[in-house]
């Protein structure tokens, strides 16, 4: 029987953990389960809630470590997992009961290495209504690398990944802080991606402790840094993909700078965009420069922010 590894990194999520654990426990489907929780140096009651909430669960592992960030925490869980498929769960996300079942049926039917579903932000978990909809498959990409670069496919809770493909791809890039895009980018070199329109999971709408809301500079930096490391590790990929990656990263850096610093930077980013258009073989230089845009001294960096380019 197929085995699913539920992997949930947690950092200061005591507010959400009861609902998160309830949604994991209530997953239905014909598959074996193992549960791996990584307490990533929480300073609240997260570890206590994890222990109390799962004490009667079978096949459960709780890893308690000093704070290392989501990429290292997630990869630690993946390393410990023994399932056929990896079901990542955000420490503040709630899944519908059919989430894993729906994703598993899709990934098997399409023979994909990853399946992506819809995710919705909500104000109150108490008012959630779960719909048991039929699978609404809307596309499968046999060669997803280009679209992964241009669309920045990512995410954790709404998705399901092949453990074999993750192993081949080396999983999350632990040189980064943010976990999900580097994982998906690496997977895009391993096989097809499938996408369904079903809403399978939910997150808190206005919580500024979430990376996607409260640490935007870190998130965007790591999107660009993931492209840098990926191309550095895969120099033989099509040159067109490299230029597309530079165009995406430089555009992202320019938009962020204009929005946050309220000024133009024509002499820097726009020059680099022109350089990317007319020349080849400068990809690593250009991607590195796109990351350095986020190092601005005027940016009030959140406590956990981390920039890494080597």
Domain boundary (207, 225, 256) is at: 207
- Residue 106: name the closest of 23, 195, 166, 184 by CA: 195
Domain of residue 156, residue span? 3-207
Q: Are residues 28 and 170 in the same domain?
A: yes
302 belongs to a structural domain: no
pTM above 0.85, yes or no: yes
Q: Are residues 36 and 167 in the same domain?
A: yes
Res. 235 pLDDT band, cuts 50 70 90: very high
Q: Are residues 195 and 220 in the same domain?
A: no
Q: With the CA atoms of 145, 150, 156 and 157 taken in that order, what torsion angle do they form, in degrees rounded to the nearest 10?
A: -110
Q: Are residues 166 and 270 in the same domain?
A: no
Q: Are residues 192 and 235 in the same domain?
A: no
Residues 159-187, mean pLDDT to the nearest whole number: 97
List CB contacts of 183: < 8 A, sequence separation 6 or more: 74, 154, 161, 166, 169, 171, 172, 173
Structurally, the chain folds into a number of domains equal to 2
Q: Are residues 55 and 178 in the same domain?
A: yes
Where helices occur in 81-169 by DSSP H, the ranges are 99-110, 145-151, 163-169
pLDDT of 81-124, one tens digit each? 999 999 999 999 999 999 999 999 999 999 999 999 999 999 88
308 belongs to a structural domain: no
Domain boundary (207, 230, 263) is at: 207
Res. 280 pLDDT band, cuts 50 70 90: confident
């Amino acid at each position: 029987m197929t085995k699913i590894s539920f992997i949930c990194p947690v950092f200061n999520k005591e507010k959400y953990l009861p609902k998160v654990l309830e949604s994991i426990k209530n997953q239905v489907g014909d598959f074996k389960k193992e549960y791996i929780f990584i307490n990533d140096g929480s300073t609240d009651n997260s570890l206590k809630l994890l222990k109390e909430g799962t004490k009667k669960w079978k096949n459960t592992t709780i890893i308690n470590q000093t704070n290392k960030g989501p990429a290292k925490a997630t990869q630690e869980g993946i390393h410990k997992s023994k399932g056929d498929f990896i079901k990542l769960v955000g420490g503040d996300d709630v899944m519908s009961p059919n989430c894993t079942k729906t994703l598993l049926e899709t990934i098997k039917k399409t023979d994909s290495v990853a399946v992506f579903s819809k995710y919705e932000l909500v104000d109150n978990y108490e008012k959630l209504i779960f719909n048991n909809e039929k699978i609404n498959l809307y596309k499968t990409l046999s060669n997803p690398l280009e679209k992964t670069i241009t669309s920045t496919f990512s995410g954790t809770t709404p998705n399901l990944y092949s453990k074999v493909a993750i192993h081949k791809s080396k999983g999350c890039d632990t040189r980064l802080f943010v976990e999900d895009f580097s994982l998906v980018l690496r997977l895009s070199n391993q096989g097809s991606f499938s996408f369904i329109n079903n809403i399978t999971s939910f997150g808190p709408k206005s919580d500024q402790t979430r990376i996607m809301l409260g640490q935007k500079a870190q998130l965007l930096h790591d999107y660009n840094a993931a492209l840098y490391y990926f191309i550095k590790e895969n120099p033989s990929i099509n040159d067109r993909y490299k230029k597309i990656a530079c165009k995406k990263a430089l555009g992202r850096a320019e938009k962020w700078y204009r929005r946050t610093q309220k000024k133009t930077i024509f002499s820097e980013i726009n020059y680099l965009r022109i350089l990317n258009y007319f020349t080849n073989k400068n990809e690593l230089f250009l991607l590195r420069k796109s990351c350095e845009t986020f190092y601005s001294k005027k940016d009030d960096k959140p406590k956990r922010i981390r920039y890494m380019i080597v």
